[in-house]
Structure 1
Amino acid sequence: MKKILLVCLIAIISLSVSAQTQVPENSSSPIYFKAGKLGVGTSSPEHGKVEIAGDGLDQGLTIYNGIGSTYRMYRIGDIAYLTRAGDNNKGFSITATGYVGLGNVNNTSFQLAIANGLYLGGGAITRAGTLQINGTGADNGLTLWTANGDMTARLWIDAAKDLMYLTKGAGSTNGICIARNGSVGIGTEVTGTHKLAVEGTIGAREIKVETTAWADFVFNDDYHLIGLMELESFIQTNNHLPDIPSEEKVLEEGVSLGKMDAKLLQKIEELTLYVIDLSKSVETLKTENQNLQHEIENLKK
């Protein structure tokens, strides 16, 4: 009796190890169990504990919550999908080359392609955009860096200061900041009333300043050009030219390039008129001097 039981036990173990068992199924894609592996649609499962062979939306894995929400994993051709309800717009895909697409995007060129936007961080999504990063501070934004880490660039927001930054490293003055009203600071967070504030020098091959007024009115017939004696008196009293701000005011308030250029041109044009007037006076003196010379020569005769 013991020998008979031992023979039966050996036979059962042999079947479970070497034999292939088909689970009865009312489906054209039967389920197979072989060597500890489950095959769906294949009688020779080899890749993983569970292998599903099939091509198409209904030839994959479906997770159903019983109240209408379904999630599916399936393959169509060389692309694998994980989606909600089999809708390619609501999930992601992976190509045979390892490219990943989020949403209904045909990604054949990038490691990751996103169809409708990416959101990073916590809290509610309150703004539209292709990429959303929710956070405040240099460590809660977008960082770019070189392979050795000696050069980093950061894009971030400081909610307390109400400023956005694009900087080298995490230093708030090591780049550009943008205020809520659109004012831009370079090397500074304080823009004052300016649209652009720069802490440091600006290098440019050319700067164009647009203005609504120029100084050619100096050449109008009704322009009052003060006399040189009056001008001398003004300079001695104020230590600067008329219509030109004093040194004290410039140091306190700065200068407007457009307005200052117009004022300087006004002084150049006034100087031109002074020179013309002096030239006429010199010519008159020359004529009078020549006449006197003729009279003297006549008297000598």
Structure 2
Amino acid sequence: MTSPSRVVSFCVFIGGILILANTTTFAQNSNPWPTSGAVGIGTSSPSSNVLLHTWFADEKVHHRLALSTTSYVDFRLKADSEFRINSYDGTTNHAPFIIGPSPGSNLLVLKSGKVGVGLSSPSTLLHLNATNADADLTIAAATAGYAATAIFKSAAQHFNVKIRSDNFFAIEDITASPDRTPFVIEPNAGDHLLYLKAGKVGIGTTAPAGVLDVSGEFYTDTGGNSIVLREQNTGDEGGQLQFDGAGANRYFQFDNFQGNFRFISQDASGASEKMRILNDGTIGIATTAPDPNYKLSVNGKIRAKEVIVETNWPDFVFADDYRLSSLAEVERFIKEHKHLPDIPSQQQVAGQGVNLGEMQAKLLQKIEELTLHMIELQKENRTLQKRLDELEAKEGEKLK
């Protein structure tokens, strides 16, 4: 049943049309109810059942739907062909929908369903075109939840792009089961999270020096951090490469310490340095202070199947001008020093160690000297044997 107020409003609306139709310059003919059924306001030849025709300097066809004395919706068509829908809530006038007169700034909806903003011929379902000054696209929401979700969907694939109000950004693959999120930017991610330049990828840097340049720590296998590449600048320490694992013996690490290359491992007793290579090429194994006078310092035993030492060799012993010490001289030296000439003493070896190459040469020198002494002794023995043979021959003659 129609309420009395609606009946009154309808009568007032019809009455207004009749008054305008009879008073306007372009009023319909004197018959307010023509047999054609067409009513014109502002024109004497309406082309539709109801036609409002105005061309005032600025305004406008203006229709208002009043919801109350302080709340209404306006439909306006201005003389410059601008069309807008306004709403008024009692305090503020809103214009949520405007179509401008310029083809480059209008909103266009084609019968094919394509929507264009800022252009007259959209080529996709939603086509946006703007000058540099107005090219921003802003999607905003309340302070909680996702500000925007873009869904890219086909028969076989389904991706979501999510932006949350706390600066969380994610690309989600919901084709798989369960859903996967291969790309995420968390809040406070910092500047230059991912930077592409001239075929190079920079993470944390805008000037990648190689195909992949990571400024910061790099982890693989988040379950156990099996490989960790850490950028560390804490005074003496530089970058680190760490191979991590589970259990007490859980990692092995290479790092830069004061410009030196260190090898560190951890066992049940804790982490300790196993080897160090100094920046001058000196190597220390099981020691943090390799002797700078030697290229290799080992704090422990060494076992090898073969060791090749390149050093001078004592062939000079066989030279004609070599002075061979007599056995009597050697005897006196041994009685006085308790070791062979040119051989280090026990105290020297305990304090300074032994040069293997030099010691091998010294031992060979002593063998060569002993060989010369044996040759001389053999000569003396032959001489003595000859004299003995001669004496025995003479004694034999006497006995005859």
Q: Which amino acid aligns with 2:305?
A: R
Output aligned runs, 1:100-179, within 5 Å.
115-120=211-216, 133-136=231-234, 141-148=240-247, 150-159=249-258, 163-169=260-266, 171-173=271-273, 175-179=274-278
* TM-aligned CA deviation for residue 148 of structure 1: 4.8
How far apart are the structure 2 equivalents of 1:146 and 1:274? 65
Segments of 5+ residues of structure 2 without an aligned counterpart are 7-66, 68-112, 128-147, 163-191, 218-228
- Post-superposition shift, 1:261? 1.3
* 1:256 partner amino acid: N
Q: Equivalents in 2 of 1:246, 1:38: separation in Å? A: 85
Pairwise CA distance, 1:289: 1.4
Alpha-carbon deviation of 1:295? 1.2
Q: Which residue of 1 aligns with 2:123?
A: 28
Instruction: Report how far residue 167 of structure 1 moved.
Output: 2.1
Q: Secondary structure at the match of 1:243?
A: coil
Match of 1:210 in 2: 310
Shift in alpha-carbon separation, 1:168–1:292, aligned structure 2, 3 A: same
Counterpart of 2:256 in 1: which secondary structure?
A: strand
Structure-2 change in CA distance of 1:273 and 1:158 (3 Å): same
Aligned counterparts of 2:352 and 2:303: Cα–Cα separation in 1: 22
Give CA deviations for 1:163-199 in whole Å, capped at 9, x if unaligned.
43112226343x2112232211110011122211111
Q: Based on CA coordinates, which of the two structures has the bigger radius of gyration?
A: 2
The whole-number CA distance in structure 2 between the counterparts of 1:24 and 1:163 is 63
In angstroms, what is the RMSD of aligned CA positions? 3.9
Question: Structure 1: how far apart are the matches of 2:150 and 2:355?
Answer: 81
Taking only the aligned residue pairs, the percentage that are identical comes to 33
Give the TM-score normalised by structure 2. Answer: 0.46
Matched, 1:239 2:239: no
Q: How many residues align?
A: 218
* Partner SS, residue 271 of structure 2: coil
Residue 91 to residue 236, structure 1, CA distance change in 2 (3 Å): closer
Question: Residues of 2 paired with 1:49 and 1:202: CA distance?
Answer: 61
Q: Does 1:275 align with 2:374?
A: yes
CA 1:295 to 1:151, structure 2 compared with 1: closer, same or farther past 3 Å? Answer: farther
Work out whether residues 185 and 198 of structure 1, in 8 Å CA contact, stay in contact via their aligned partners in 2.
Answer: yes
CA deviations on 1:102-130 (whole Å, 9 max, x unpaired) are x8xxxxxxxxxx82433325xxxxxxxxx
Which residue in 1 is equivalent to 2:385? Answer: 286
Structure 1 residue 89 corresponds to structure 2 residue 210: no
The answer to whether the 8 A contact 2:114-2:124 is kept is: no
Which whole-Å CA distance do the structure 1 matches of 2:153 and 2:251 have between them? 51
- Looking at structure 1, the residues matched to 313 and 392 of structure 2 have their Cα atoms a distance apart, in angstroms, of 47
Instruction: Provide the rounded CA distance (Å) in 2 between the counterparts of 1:208 and 1:276.
Output: 31
Superposition deviation, residue 259 in structure 1: 1.5
Q: 1:289/1:84 Cα in 2 relative to 1: closer, same or farther (>3 Å)?
A: closer
Indicate conservation of the 8 Å contact 1:209/1:258, yes or no.
Answer: yes
Q: Give how far 1:245 is off.
A: 1.9
Structure 1: state its 5+ residue gaps. Answer: 6-20, 51-70, 72-81, 93-102, 104-113, 122-130
Residue in 1 that maps onto 2:160 = 48
Larger CA deviation: 136-145 vs 234-243: 136-145
Q: What is the aligned partner in structure 1 of residue 327 from structure 2?
A: 228
Cα 1:90–1:267 shift into 2, 3 Å? closer
* 1:271 Cα offset (Å): 0.2
Contact kept, 8 Å, 1:135 with 1:157, in 2: the verdict is no
Can you list the C-alpha shifts for 1:268-290, whole angstroms capped at 9, x where unaligned?
A: 00000011111111111211111
Q: Secondary structure at the match of 1:171?
A: strand
Contact in 1 for aligned 2:230/2:239 (Cα 8 Å): no
Contact 1:154/1:168 (8 A) holds in 2: yes
**CA 1:260–1:246 in 2, change beyond 3 Å: closer, same or farther?**
same
Q: Show CA shifts across 1:58-88 (max 9, x none).
A: xxxxxxxxxxxxx9xxxxxxxxxx8658x64
Give the secondary structure class of the aligned counterpart of 1:237: helix
Cα deviation, 1:119-159, whole Å, max 9, x if unaligned, reads: 325xxxxxxxxx77334589972221335563421112334
Give the one of 248, 273, 297 matched to 2:396: 297
Given the superposition, is the C-alpha separation of residues 181 and 132 from structure 1 closer, same or farther in structure 2, using an over 3 Å criterion?
farther
Aligned match for 2:301, one of 201, 209, 217: 201
Asked whether the 8 Å contact 2:114–2:123 carries over to 1, the reply is no
Structure with higher RCO (Cα < 8 A, 6+ apart): 1
**Partner AA of 2:126 in structure 1:** I
